Structure 1
Amino acid sequence: MTATLPDWLSGIPAEQPHALAFATVSGAHLYGFPSQDSDVDLRGVHMLPLEEIVGLRTGQETVTRSWIRHGVEVDLVTHDLAKFCRMLLRRNGYVLEQLLSPLVVATSPVHEELLAAAPGCLTRNHAHHYQGFARTQWRLFERSGELKPLLYTFRVLLTGIHLMRTGTLVADLTRLDGGPPYLADLVAAKRSAEHGALPADAPDRVRLEHDVARLGDTLQEAMDASALPEEPAAGGALHDLVVRVRIRGR
């Protein structure tokens, strides 16, 4: 846990209806540019008991909750273990970032096994996830002019490039190289307001579009040259984990 995260977060996992394999912090705190008024995005995996899987009344595969605690908005999303594992095997960078987040609120032996399987989930096709995410965020920036989607655009492009080149996933924008020189100033501006506009001295749209396009090309080149495999190798290990947890409950 970092100094920007409240201590009371650690009590939330025990409040959930099902045991959590893990809970981590995602969103702006993970990406390196939380604002003073940022909400806290909790993500994780819950483990449905066997009777809620094989019976007539089945449990929720995805649980979503939002509430205010101590003046902070908390957004919690957890997936059942089997659903989460299926998502891990579908070039889904978002769930990989949740699993590998260093901002751990709750952990377990199942979490440790998921972490051990994570390298076998990485493929060069994860570049498609980051390309699509970047396009979505750039369009949102074009419509809104807000700083947040612009930083998300740069973040996902740089995360994708780093993943393709090194085989490691880094979601914190402030730890990624290769961005334009003004990124540090944009991060500083974002930390002062969650939904603020670009600072007055920010580059113009032409420069921003040029830099985003350049990084998009770099991501494609990194994908083409990547040593990552085409398909995940962890399917068998994840299947065995789900079966064992379903039967033994842990």
Structure 2
Amino acid sequence: MNLPSWLPEIPREQPHPLAFATVSGAHLYGFPSVDSDVDLRGVHVLPAEQVVGLRTGPETLDRTWTRDGVEVDLVTHDLAKFCRLLLNRNGYVLEQLLSPLVVSSSPVHEELVALAPGCLTRHHAHHYLGFARTQWRLFEKTGELKPLLYTFRVLATGTHLMRTGSLDADLTHLYAYGPPYLPELVAAKREAEHGAAPLVASAGDDVARLTAALEEARDAARLPETASAHEALHALVVRTRLPHLDGPRRPAGALRP
């Protein structure tokens, strides 16, 4: 997988320190095309005075630009907002946190990763079911390959998560959960970002079957109903924002310089 060599420079250029930045999107999902943009996602940390004062800092920063012919889309959330999203059964942020394509990290990132299992519940299935419905409707409207692959990807990832308790967003690792023509669709997507989908007569039936499989996996999942990481995440946010409260030693969640 070819990612620009200058990606690690981007976190150092941001207005607030980043706890982490990872690559999401098609690169994470296993089917980047030759003209795919790079989706960077992460967490920034606002200083305490921009949280408790009258002038508050941005909870979300969103920026898109082009560098060396590559479009970069960077979205970061402040640490507190990101933790709230984690606790709200948000599959997007869970995938961003656990992405193996790490551009920058810190002890805060490492602690978030360690706490991720305590954020997982059976209700994460609702995220994947809802996203699949949205992408399938988009495919029916446009006939493009990208939303069709996204439909299969989220259904496979959600089913795998419910069955194993392990998150894997890469569709090429999850072919066993889908129809046999998935490798052909992935190969076609790698050639063009916005191409039309090949004609697959059984696609609707296959999506219905995989949707039912995810619902069954959700109902049978040995996952908790609610997250257990609330207090640990709260403590992490406080220690990171107010390190002096942790005494003279450097807190485990402090950002690297």
Instruction: Please give the range of the TM-score, normalised by the shorter of the 2 chains.
Output: over 0.9
- Tell me which residue corresponds to 1:63: 61
- Tell me which residue corresponds to 2:193: 194
Partner of 2:72, secondary structure, is strand
Question: Quick check: 1:239 aligned with 2:237?
Answer: no
* 1:1-250 pair list within 5 angstroms: 3-176=1-174, 177-199=176-198, 202-204=199-201, 207-248=202-243, 250=254
* Shift of residue 248, structure 1, vs aligned partner: 1.6
Amino acid of the structure 2 residue aligned with 1:58: T
How far apart, CA to CA, are the structure 2 residues paired with 1:161 and 1:102?
A: 20
Deviations 1:76-128 (A, max 9, x none): 00000000000000110110000000000000000000000001111000000
Partner of 1:98, secondary structure, is helix
Deviations 1:156-211 (A, max 9, x none): 00000000000000000000122100000000000000000013xx412xx10000
How far apart, CA to CA, are the structure 2 residues paired with 1:188 and 1:164?
A: 27
Report if the CA contact (8 A) 2:148-2:197 is conserved. Answer: no
* Shift of residue 52, structure 1, vs aligned partner: 0.7
Amino acid of the structure 2 residue aligned with 1:123: T
How far apart, CA to CA, are the structure 2 residues paired with 1:181 and 1:31?
A: 18
Deviations 1:31-57 (A, max 9, x none): 000000000000000000011111121
How far apart, CA to CA, are the structure 2 residues paired with 1:170 and 1:248?
A: 34
Report if the CA contact (8 A) 2:34-2:192 is conserved. Answer: yes
How far apart, CA to CA, are the structure 2 residues paired with 1:90 and 1:5?
A: 31
How far apart, CA to CA, are the structure 1 residues paired with 2:11 and 2:241?
A: 20
Partner of 1:139, secondary structure, is helix
Partner of 2:6, secondary structure, is helix
How far apart, CA to CA, are the structure 1 residues paired with 2:19 and 2:63?
A: 17
How far apart, CA to CA, are the structure 2 residues paired with 1:53 and 1:240?
A: 16
Partner of 1:23, secondary structure, is strand
Partner of 1:102, secondary structure, is coil
Partner of 1:12, secondary structure, is helix
Report if the CA contact (8 A) 2:85-2:93 is conserved. Answer: yes
Amino acid of the structure 2 residue aligned with 1:140: L
Report if the CA contact (8 A) 2:41-2:74 is conserved. Answer: yes
RMSD of aligned alpha carbons: 0.8
Q: TM-score, normalised by structure 1?
A: 0.96
Partner of 2:8, secondary structure, is helix
Percent identity over the alignment? 74
How far apart, CA to CA, are the structure 1 residues paired with 2:59 and 2:243?
A: 19
Amino acid of the structure 2 residue aligned with 1:91: R
How far apart, CA to CA, are the structure 1 residues paired with 2:139 and 2:109?
A: 35
Identify unmatched segments of 5+ residues in structure 1.
Answer: none
How far apart, CA to CA, are the structure 1 residues paired with 2:131 and 2:145?
A: 16
* Shift of residue 13, structure 1, vs aligned partner: 0.1
